Every structure is written in structure tokens, then in C-alpha cells.
């Protein structure tokens, strides 16, 4: 009987339990024993690894109260444990303990569900997983993982952010004011762009496209209404100004006589009822991960490409996209996917009269 471990790492997002639910049921149909590693890699530190046997009744089907995952406690993840080890000078001791305890579990395979930081770190520390098959599943609301067209959690985050903006439009219209909404997404503007188009925002500012504040102001003043949504990605910057991006843009609008308020949906973007699209993607990627184990693959990530689920090497993922240095872990390079210049949503937004920056 194969022994399969599951570990979730990095930030929480909707859809994690959908993945785990499908891995449990798919794995059990194959006659495998499924184990969950609690608290990410921190669950593998100490004399006794924090591991539980997962069965068919461990998780209910996805619903509103399971946006995160039982396999981590929300604030302890793969990267955080490594960061603390680096900061305390115990990196070598930390990785040695991880490998020792993983080997002691005698797993045949480990499915790691994480974001681009977790995947990059898994590749950097790949010797830890040399005694088993390592299969990764991409999840993040940022949609910043290369070589996959969608990540688990993104669709739900778009839905959450869109509903947030829909509610704001009621007060925006009543008070004849604009709302500058700051989305998550780090250095990738996919979440802001997608939710911005869905929310019928009059302007969308993302890190990938330079913008002109004076032209933004002119665009808002010439809008057919005196209210609406201005979507701002948290990754944008404004030369000569500091603070939160939404606040910086808000001050510029106020100085030009445009009535506005800022709004920060923050972590509700990571919560909410998981959308059917995310649940379906979770099921397909869970199935692909189990198939990869049966096919003796290792150091691979499941990916959605042109409507099909496939696997790609983690080394290829890490070497793709736009690399950046991790500020907390020396010698760790994280590869980021960003919004491409030919993204069809950019074209659609521009054609709909949304200000998206200086694209020409």
C-alpha cells in the first residue's frame, strides 16, 4: 500500500480543502493510505512529526467555512518556518530535521500545495524530498505562478473582490463619489485586472503598466458618471510618494477636486464560498497529481494549459517568468508570472474605455 502525504504551504486561499478532499477520495480508491502534515513544514520539526491519517470523513465537501485548510493553522507556513530558521542561524539544522522526519514517515510521495514562493523554495531544498516523489499543486489568489493558465483560489478571489465592489457601488452612486479599491496580488496585476473588468471599473492600475496620474485624473473627470470604482493593485508605485497605493491615488484625486474614498477588501479576497470553477480545477489537479504519482513522476507541478491539465518540471517553473530575490531567504530566487502585454483583458478594457495606463 502506497503512503501519500499532503502538505499545504504559504498563504491561505479558497479551494485548499477541495484539493485535499479529492486527493483523499482519489487516493483511497487507489488503495493508498493518506496522511496530512499539520502546520506546514513546522509540523515536521521536533521529536514527533505532527501528522494525521486522513479518511473519507475528514473533510466535508467544500463550503463557506473551509476557505483555508485543516493542514495548516493559517499563520504557519512553509516559507515562514524557513525564514525563522535563516534569521536564527539554524537553517542547516532546520533542513536536516525536515529530511530526517520526512524519511521517518516512510512516505512514497508527498503532494505539496503552495504558491510560487513555496514551489521555488521546494526546488532550492529539493534534497529534502529525494527519498520520495514530490508533486506540487499551484494555489494562489495572485495568479503569479508561471506555466499554468489558472491557479486554485484565483477565481474565488476575483468573485470576492467583484462582490465587494458591487456593494460599494451603492454608496458610490448615492454620494456621488469614487472609490479607490486596493486589491491584493503582490507584483502581479491579474487579480486587479480581472476583478476590475468584472466590476466595470473606470480605471485599473497594475504593476505591469506605467500610468500617468494627470491622465488618470483627466479620464475620471471626463467619465459619464460622477461615481464609480478605480481598481488599484497593491503592487503599483507612484514616484516621489510613499504609503499604500490606494491612499496615494486618493490624495491625487482629492487634490484635483474629485470626491473619493479608499476601500481595502484585504483578506476577504482569500475567503468566501469557493466558486464552482475553483472546485472543478481543484478536482482536476488532484486527479492529475495522483496520476503523476502512479506514473512515477517527481519534482513536477500540475498545470492548466490551453484547457488541459498536465505536469511540468518544477525546475522549468522556477526558471520561467520574471525572477526576483526573496528578501528574507538568501540565495532564493522566486519566479513570478505577470500580466502579459497581449492579455486579451487589457484589449477589452481599453476598448471599453477603462483607463489602464500608457499602453501605447
CA-CA distance, 124 to 85, in Å (whole number)? 15
CA-CA distance, 293 to 126, in Å (whole number)? 17
Taking domain 3-153+274-320, whether its CATH number is 3.40.50.450 is answered by yes
pLDDT along the chain (360 residues), means of 10: 91 89 95 91 84 82 47 42 70 84 94 92 92 96 96 96 97 97 96 98 97 96 97 92 93 97 95 91 97 98 98 95 78 88 94 88
CA-CA distance, 339 to 45, in Å (whole number)? 38
What is the structure's pLDDT at 74? Answer: 33
What is the structure's pLDDT at 61? Answer: 60
CA-CA distance, 297 to 54, in Å (whole number)? 23
Whole-prediction pTM: 0.92
**Contact criterion met (CB below 8 Å) for 325 and 333:** yes
Taking domain 158-270+341-351, whether its CATH number is 3.40.50.460 is answered by yes
State how far the alpha carbon of 189 is from the alpha carbons of 184, 204, 324, 340, 343, in Å.
9, 9, 16, 10, 11
Query: Which one-letter DSSP state was computed for residue 145?
Result: -
Name the catalytic one among 12, 39, 42, 142.
Answer: 142
Domains 3-153+274-320 and 158-270+341-351 share a fold: yes
**Contact criterion met (CB below 8 Å) for 163 and 330:** no
Question: What residues contact residue 258 under an 8 Å CB cut-off, 6+ apart?
Answer: 178, 217, 220, 221
Hey, where are the domains in the chain?
Answer: 3-153+274-320, 158-270+341-351
142 is catalytic: yes
CA-CA distance, 8 to 113, in Å (whole number)? 5
What is the structure's pLDDT at 95? Answer: 83
What is the structure's pLDDT at 78? Answer: 44
Grid cell in block for residue 151? 491557479
What is the structure's pLDDT at 68? Answer: 46
Amino acid at each position: 500500500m502506497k503512503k501519500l502525504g499532503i502538505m499545504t504551504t504559504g498563504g491561505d486561499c479558497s479551494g485548499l480543502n477541495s484539493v485535499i478532499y479529492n486527493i483523499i477520495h482519489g487516493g483511497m480508491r487507489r488503495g493508498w493510505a493518506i496522511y496530512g502534515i499539520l502546520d506546514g513544514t513546522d509540523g515536521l520539526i521536533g521529536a514527533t512529526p505532527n501528522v494525521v491519517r486522513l479518511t473519507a470523513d475528514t473533510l466535508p465537501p467544500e463550503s463557506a467555512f473551509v476557505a483555508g485548510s485543516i493542514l495548516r493553522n493559517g499563520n504557519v507556513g512553509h516559507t515562514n518556518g524557513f525564514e525563522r530558521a535563516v534569521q536564527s542561524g539554524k537553517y542547516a539544522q532546520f533542513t536536516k530535521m525536515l529530511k530526517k522526519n520526512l524519511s521517518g514517515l516512510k512516505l512514497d510521495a508527498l503532494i505539496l500545495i503552495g504558491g510560487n514562493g513555496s514551489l521555488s523554495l521546494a526546488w532550492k531544498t529539493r534534497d529534502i524530498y529525494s527519498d520520495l516523489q514530490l508533486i506540487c499543486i499551484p494555489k494562489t489568489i495572485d495568479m503569479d505562478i508561471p506555466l499554468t493558465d489558472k491557479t486554485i483560489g484565483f477565481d474565488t478571489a476575483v468573485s470576492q473582490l467583484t462582490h465587494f465592489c458591487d456593494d460599494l457601488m451603492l454608496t458610490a452612486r448615492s454620494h456621488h463619489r469614487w472609490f479607490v479599491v486596493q486589491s491584493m496580488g503582490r507584483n502581479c496585476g491579474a487579480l486587479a485586472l480581472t476583478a476590475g473588468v468584472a466590476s466595470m471599473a473606470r480605471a485599473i492600475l497594475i504593476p505591469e503598466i506605467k500610468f500617468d496620474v494627470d491622465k488618470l485624473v483627466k479620464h475620471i473627470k471626463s467619465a459619464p458618471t460622477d461615481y464609480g470604482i478605480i481598481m488599484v493593485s497593491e503592487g503599483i508605485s507612484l514616484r516621489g510618494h510613499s504609503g499604500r497605493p490606494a491612499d496615494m491615488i486618493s490624495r491625487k484625486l482629492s487634490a484635483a477636486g474629485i470626491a473619493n474614498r479608499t476601500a481595502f477588501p484585504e483578506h476577504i479576497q482569500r475567503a468566501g464560498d469557493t466558486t464552482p470553477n475553483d472546485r472543478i480545477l481543484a478536482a482536476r489537479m488532484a486527479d492529475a497529481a495522483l496520476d503523476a504519482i502512479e506514473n512515477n513522476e517527481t519534482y513536477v507541478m500540475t498545470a492548466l494549459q490551453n484547457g488541459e491539465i498536465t505536469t511540468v518540471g518544477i525546475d522549468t517553473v522556477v526558471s520561467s517568468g520574471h525572477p526576483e530575490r526573496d528578501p528574507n531567504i538568501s540565495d532564493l530566487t522566486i519566479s513570478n508570472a505577470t500580466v502579459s502585454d497581449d492579455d486579451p483583458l487589457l484589449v477589452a478594457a481599453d476598448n471599453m474605455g477603462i483607463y489602464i495606463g500608457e499602453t501605447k
